[in-house]
Structure 1
Amino acid sequence: MNFDIVKKIYNLLDDKKAKDIVVLKVNRITTVADYFIIATGTSSTHINALCDHVEKTLFDAHFTPKHKEGRAKGEWVLMDYQDFVVHIFNAEMRAYYNLERIWSDAEFITIV
């Protein structure tokens, strides 16, 4: 899996003002994906805008999610692209699920 696409997703989220973006390299501890990209949106409208931006840009680069869920409620959207999973939460749901704690054995990746 090309790490460049993970950096691209990070930058797409950052460009649209997502908060607290975290990239976890999980391939050594699970077969679910190689990377999780986690971010927080400020409202359901912001979360949906972040999802639209990521999904359209990746579609243009010939990536389509194999699974999506949570869009209707706008509290936590999951976009599963097989090698990487994008999680976009509102602040309350992110604190509740605390994926960074659950996946604390993962490698935290710094994107610059």
Structure 2
Amino acid sequence: MKKLFVLGFLFSSASAFARPPEPIDPPPRFIKKTFVNPKLDGIALDWCQQWAANCGKPAADEFCTLQGYDSSYSSAMAVDVGYTKLLTGEICNGAFCDSFEFIGCVAEI
């Protein structure tokens, strides 16, 4: 009986050591945040960085930088918002003024 117990212990111990170690998830390397209907001083952020220039990604990148992130990774246009503020501080006040539905910002940690 003693021999069976020892053999059983050896087999159960050996199988415990034969299992691969549990994978450890690496820490995240990036922090992401999505800004829905982003605003500048409480006014919808204009689609363009300067008046009718550097629209879309350049404006989103600068907005993200102002928020403490490295850059933007996604965005979508909100068409004909009507009243927006450019990053230069200028106001666009016309039916043709576009903004962002959202801007996704990212920073490496």
TM-score normalised according to structure 1 size: 0.23
Normalized per residue, the structure richer in strand is 2
